[in-house]
Amino acid sequence: MKIVKPQRLKKGDTIGVVVPASPPSEEQVFDKSQQVLEGLGYRVIFGSHCRRRWGFLAGSDDERLADLEEMFANPEVQAVFCLRGGWGTARLLRALDFDIIRHNPKVFVGFSDITMLHLATNKFTGLVTFHGPMLASHLIKDDLPEYTSESLWAMISEPAPFGSILPKNAEKPRSIVPGQVEAPLIGGNLSIIVSTLGTPYEIETEGKILFIEDVDEKPYRVDRMLTHLLNAGKLQEVAGVVCGGFTGCEPDKKPSGEWTQSVDDVLEERLKPLGVPVAVGFPFGHIDATATLPVGIPARLVAGEDSADLIILSPAVL
């Protein structure tokens, strides 16, 4: 499907805030989010049901869906930011009116459970969306790394190729399979990607650079998910693979002398045989210093012998 770029976000524009998955743990997150965004020069509108609770969800499915569709349909809103991730975004997809998004392309930002919306939106509308920091997890933090905010605002506000996603003086990613490839980006949270298989929202990986990250998953579960993607034929189709943070994915401690696999071991074992460029250790995912990645935009993966880089080749906004 032809990609559709949203209009760039400008100072004075309105950001609509939605909570498609789980509610924040503290109510003051809403006020702090408004203060931060307004302090940066934007207007803020919250979804009508943002403060609702429904078990582990931020309101009923109908309420969360209504907020999401309302923000895309509202002509006064120029961008839609997710407050946080969590659980439950997939429950919206069967009822989501993708025509509303298709006819009202806007900047859309989130990650983690929001991966489900990135993949479905990319598949059914072609809209470029942004796998990037959310308000509760990143943007309202007093100690937010400059790199995180600079990457986000430049990616969604400047109609120019972003270039390398790596921060200056950062530890360089490591190549598993050296090589170089140019292709559109697709991906997100590994657990969510796997959960799309066998559904109408199944990830399309053919000829694309797949980027993956996850949190709080033991190495054997990462192995299971990658194996499932292999068994489904999804990894054999990729042009390259970029691995971000696998936070809290350390193996269980074993008695002295027992061997156990790390996440890096699993990634190398499962991905090296693909024979396409593969690199690990990129700064995106459930980490403080996270890059914003434009889903659907062409990038160049350079997996060198000693280090690797990911370069955004095209503007992500108009």
The Cα–Cα gap between 125 and 197 comes to 19
Q: Which amino acid is at 227?
A: T
Sheet holding 107-110, edge to edge: 43-46, 14-18, 79-82, 107-110, 129-131, 293-295
> Of 63, 69, 70, 213, which residue is the catalytic one?
213
112 as an active site residue: the answer is: yes
Q: Which distant-in-sequence residues (6+ apart) come within 8 Å of 152 by Cβ?
A: 109, 130, 132, 133, 139, 292
Tokens found for residue 176 = 């598993």
Burial 179-212 (b: 16+ CB within 10 A, else e): bebebbbbbbbbbbbbbbeeeebbbbbeebbbbb
Structure tokens at 227: 């194996």
Give the number of other Cβ atoms within 10 Å of residue 252's Cβ: 8
Question: Is-catalytic flag, 103?
Answer: no
The answer to whether 138 is a known catalytic residue is no
Torsion angle defined by CA atoms of residues 143, 174, 171 and 132, in that order, rounded to the nearest 10 degrees:
-30
Which has the closest alpha carbon to 132: 108, 107, 110, 158? 110
Residue 245 host element (H or E)? strand 240-247
User: How far apart are alpha carbons 264 and 270 in whole angstroms?
Assistant: 10
Stretch (H or E) spanning 43: strand 43-46
Catalytic residue, chosen from 112, 137, 175, 195, is: 112
Cα–Cα distances in Å, from 276 out to 148, 181, 236, 242, 258? 29, 8, 9, 11, 32
Residues 284 and 131: beta-carbon distance below 8 Å: yes
Active site residues: 112, 213, 286
